[in-house]
Structure 1
Amino acid sequence: MNRTLVIGDIHGSYKALLQILERANVTTHDRLIFLGDFVDGWGQSPEVIDKLMELKTSHNCIFIRGNHDDLLLGWLKTGQYSEEWFNHGGRSTMDSYTIMPEDKKQIHILFLESLEDYFLDDDNRLFVHAGFTNLNGVKHEYFSRLFYWDRTLWETALALDKSIDVTHPYYPKRFTHYKEIFIGHTPVTRIGQTVPVQMANIWNVDTGAAFKGPLTIMDADTKEYWQSKPAFELYPEENGRN
């Protein structure tokens, strides 16, 4: 069984990551595509990175860069950070890395530097953390940071009139370049959901593990999915990003 499995935003919930790998019966025959935001939120961001590096040696893995991963990398390399990052999950991550040996920090830096802005598979399916803005697609995007910061792709999908299909002149051109687009970044808990949500040809797999939701792994072909317990139940002693 050769599946393509998509994993939503982990946000330091190492226990949830272990749960979904077990519940989905992940094997070395599966391709794993991680949509980014591996860190910040719950208190085991370094353990998440260690697990991802371990999986990289034994599985076919694609690791997409999330905005939180980029913020952590910036702090690890320069010591500089914003108060916004500090107050949105960065504090627990900083606490964890402050006590980490320097040689291990360097290994994590190399991993974070190796993350990809997006992945386009042979079936013309796009995997990206947040989105893109260029009407001609990701290969024409002027600002790479939009791959892990943009919310307009998802907001456009949410606002799209359901009576307008791909043949309509007002149909968003961005949506027409790819068979499907898989994203994270903007948790579906914002629209009252805790399962993957499809709007147009866009699948949002961020089911709110940073907050009150579970972590999700989904089969990109069949759309079957498996979830962890809500992350806050796995870390009752923490507040997460609430």
Structure 2
Amino acid sequence: MSGKAIVAHANLDPYERTIVVSDIHGDNQGFLETMRQVEFSPQDALVIVGDLLEKGEHSLELLHTVMRRAQAGNVYMVAGNNDTIFSEWYNDEVTDEEVHDYMNHRKNIILREMALEMGMSWQTLEEVRALKAAVPKRYAAELDFLNSLPHILETEHFIFVHAGLKPGPLTEQDRDFCLTAKAFGTQLHRFEKPLIVGHWPASNYCETIINVNPYFNRNTNVISIDGGNGLNRWHQINYLILHREHIDFGAYDALPRFRALDSQEPSKDPLTLGFPSTEAEVIRKGETESICYLPAIDLEIPVANDQLYNYKGKRYCYNMTTYCLPVQAGEILACCDVEPRGLLAKRNGMVGYYTGRYEFLSSDDLLLKKEGKQP
């Protein structure tokens, strides 16, 4: 059941800078490191464009971190679709049965964290109903914080919303559209003020070469900043630094770094696919990778076995690319994964393969411990 979106207004001009992040998804350490990287200070404002929670392992800890910072008065946040589980549950917009199913099929969710902290279980429907009664007593401050979040934040120079807006007055916006609009960066309406959104990973807008950095649609004045944190292998936390109307951007990730020992040229005619075009039929299964037929492109290609998954009765591979990055020997790159064909790497936000010799910069990287994948 939808309704009108809640709109908040703020004057951010008195602050030296406004730092904007979105889609942190339970990554408390990543959030703290991002704040260190931008050298966030009391003279700055912070805007969080939704989806603080879920997918990561530390949603409750991250919520507490943000609540503490918000006490200073310079933190602003709009709700994302992953931040509304409590309001939806307690307003009977989702049923106890749906929450029971959610808790038993999703691993990293704040309700599980709360249950574990209270020594409660969620295996049965009765246990979930007991949890529903216990949460408001133990976590009243947390629920109050989340329930107070607006859906839209308007400032002098920008508008912030988690997923998207429809043309028209802010006071007439649909709440669910603000929370769940898909691929909003491709809509055609031009907004007067720059509109900053998250929700849909910026890399999903790439048709040839994956780029994880913020997606600027200058025709529509929409900036999509979701870096896919907690969602895909090339994840990062994107941030904007706003100085009045001036915009800079950067990103943080905790991926291991390696030094390329060889140069390589970029590949031509790369193939990049995102869901739902990644449906795959395994033709010949191998030990580490399989030959798969992808109906969307009518081709058989090798896919690493750990990149295949089942969804609603069909087999898919995760978002993929065949692109090989341009690399100069000596460059430092981020390693997203180790695959039979080489390292899936990230260079200045661009994602592709590096197939030359390399050395990791940290000897304790988990990637080095993958069987048969030591450099």
Question: Which of the numbers 113, 124, 127 marks the counterpart of 1:96?
Answer: 113
What is the Cα-based RMSD across aligned positions, in Å? 2.8
In structure 2, what is the equivalent of residue 127 of structure 1? Answer: 160
1:230–1:120 Cα change, 3 Å: farther
Assess if the C-alpha contact under 8 Å between 1:28 and 1:59 holds in 2. Answer: no
Task: Work out whether 1:227 is the aligned partner of 2:259.
Answer: no
- Give the superposition deviation at 1:197: 1.3
Stretches of structure 2 lacking an aligned partner (at least 5 in a row): 1-14, 119-134, 257-335, 338-365, 367-375
Q: Which moved more, 1:103-112 or 1:72-81?
A: 72-81
Using the alignment, how far apart are the partners of 1:230 and 1:154 within structure 2? 27
Select the structure with the greater relative contact order (CA < 8 A; seq sep ≥ 6).
1
Using the alignment, how far apart are the partners of 1:130 and 1:73 within structure 2? 18
In structure 2, what is the equivalent of residue 218 of structure 1? Answer: 240
SS at match of 1:11: coil
In structure 1, what is the equivalent of residue 18 of structure 2? Answer: 4
Assess if the C-alpha contact under 8 Å between 1:40 and 1:90 holds in 2. Answer: no
SS at match of 1:99: helix
Using the alignment, how far apart are the partners of 2:26 and 2:105 within structure 1? 12
Task: Work out whether 1:19 is the aligned partner of 2:51.
Answer: no
Question: Which of the numbers 215, 240, 243 marks the counterpart of 1:197?
Answer: 215
Assess if the C-alpha contact under 8 Å between 1:37 and 1:69 holds in 2. Answer: yes
Using the alignment, how far apart are the partners of 1:137 and 1:154 within structure 2? 19
- Give the superposition deviation at 1:84: 8.2
Task: Work out whether 1:110 is the aligned partner of 2:127.
Answer: no
Stretches of structure 1 lacking an aligned partner (at least 5 in a row): 157-171, 237-242
Q: TM-score, normalised by structure 2?
A: 0.52
Using the alignment, how far apart are the partners of 2:150 and 2:104 within structure 1? 26
Using the alignment, how far apart are the partners of 1:88 and 1:147 within structure 2? 26
1:77–1:53 Cα change, 3 Å: farther
Question: Which of the numbers 126, 141, 144 marks the counterpart of 2:175?
Answer: 144
Q: Which amino acid aligns with 1:138?
A: L
Q: Which moved more, 1:83-92 or 1:24-33?
A: 83-92
Question: Which of the numbers 200, 207, 218 marks the counterpart of 2:227?
Answer: 207
Q: TM-score, normalised by structure 1?
A: 0.78
Structure number with the higher strand fraction is 2
Q: Which amino acid aligns with 1:222?
A: I
Using the alignment, how far apart are the partners of 2:38 and 2:45 within structure 1? 12
Instruction: Compare CA radii of gyration and give the structure with the larger one.
Output: 2
Q: Report how many aligned residue pairs link the two structures.
A: 214
Q: Which moved more, 1:45-54 or 1:92-101?
A: 92-101
- Give the superposition deviation at 1:4: 1.0
In structure 2, what is the equivalent of residue 159 of structure 1? Answer: none
1:21–1:91 Cα change, 3 Å: closer
Q: Which amino acid aligns with 2:254?
A: K
Give the share of equivalent positions with the same residue, in percent: 18
SS at match of 1:148: helix
Assess if the C-alpha contact under 8 Å between 1:196 and 1:206 holds in 2. Answer: yes
1:155–1:97 Cα change, 3 Å: farther
In structure 2, what is the equivalent of residue 239 of structure 1? Answer: none
